[in-house]
Structure 1
Amino acid sequence: MPTVSETYLENRWRVQPNHANNYGTVHGGNVMKWMDELGAMAAMRFAGEPCVTASIDQMDFHRPVPTGDTAVIEAFAFDAGRTSVKVHLRAAGENPRTGDQETTTESQFVFVAIDEDGKPVPVPDLAADDERSQELRERALAWRDEHHRDG
């Protein structure tokens, strides 16, 4: 049974001019794409199957990441259904010279495991039986509780 901590991934992208909007900061669509790609990788690491995006929870952008800085994305699975997996994602801007980070957005994506015909397939149970897994899961659940919107 995979653990939450085994699904944890982190990646960095240097924000280039082709990633930027008219204001010289990363375009939100690029951040969303990077989050989706890394989230799918975390989901696949958990499920052991190809996974596709089913839904994206609330995504608010709190601060820009300027061209030349680094966008840091982290992802981990924190909950599973029969054929789906919930992945918590955090994006931050990072100063490449100092390593200082500021969160720009967080969200939770749902991915569905599929077979070669594109049909949903069952996923395993997800364990949180080590300290790091418990910390990650608690962080994701706290974010969900704080940002969940009905409706």
Structure 2
Amino acid sequence: MPTVLETYLENRWMVQPNHSNHLGSTHGGNVLKWMDELGAMSAMRFAGETCVTARMDQVNFKRPIPVGDNALVEAFVYDTGETSVKVRLRASREDLRTGESEPTTESYSVYVAVDDDGTPVPVPDLTTDSERGERLRRRALDGEATR
């Protein structure tokens, strides 16, 4: 059975002018796209199947990501249903020159595992086999419950 840490992924995108809005920061649609793509990859790594987005809950934009900074996106599976996979998504702005980083965007998303015909298929049970994995899972579940 896959573990929380086996689903943990992070990726970086350097924010270029073509990603920005008229204020010189990343357009929210780009951040959503990056978060959704990485979330789907995390869900597929877990399920061993193609996964499609079913829901992105309450995306909260806390601060912008300026052109020239990196968008750092993290995703991991924290809960499952019969055919669904819940993924915690967080984005941060990151200055590679200084190492400075701060949270910018967060969401909880649900993906559904599907076969080649697009029919939902069962997913395995999620396990945690480390303290870090359990801590990540617990924080995600607590955060989901309080939003």
* Smaller-chain TM-score bracket: over 0.9
State the secondary structure of the residue aligned to 2:33. Answer: helix
Q: Aligned equivalents of 2:120 and 2:73: distance in 1?
A: 27
User: Could you state the TM-score of these two structures normalised by the residue count of structure 1?
Assistant: 0.95
What's the counterpart of residue 22 of structure 1?
22
**Cα deviations across residues 5-43 of structure 1 (Å, max 9, x unaligned)?**
110000000000000000000000000000000000000
2:61 is paired with a residue whose SS is coil
- What's the secondary structure of 1:57's corresponding residue? strand
Q: Which amino acid counterpart does residue 2 of structure 1 have in structure 2?
A: P
- Tell me by how many angstroms 1:131 deviates: 1.1
CA–CA separation in structure 1 for the residues paired with 2:123 and 2:49: 8
Bigger share in strand? 2
**Unpaired segments ≥5 residues, structure 2:** none
Identity across aligned pairs (percent)?
65
Report whether the alignment pairs 1:93 with 2:93. Answer: yes
Aligned with 2:125: secondary structure? coil
The secondary structure found in structure 2 opposite 1:118 is coil
Give 3-state SS (helix, strand or coil) of 1:145's partner: helix
Write the letter of the residue equivalent to 1:4: V
* Aligned residue type for 2:63: R
TM-score, with normalisation over the residues of structure 2?
A: 0.98
Counting matched residue pairs gives 147
- For 2:145, the equivalent position in structure 1 comes to 145
Moved over 3 A (4+): none
Structure 1 stretches lacking a partner, 5+ long: none
Q: Does 1:6 align with 2:6?
A: yes
Shift of 1:128: 1.5
1:142 deviates by 2.1
Alpha-carbon distance in 1 for matches of 2:29, 2:117? 29
Query: Shift of residue 115 of structure 1?
Result: 0.2
SS in 2 for 1:6: helix
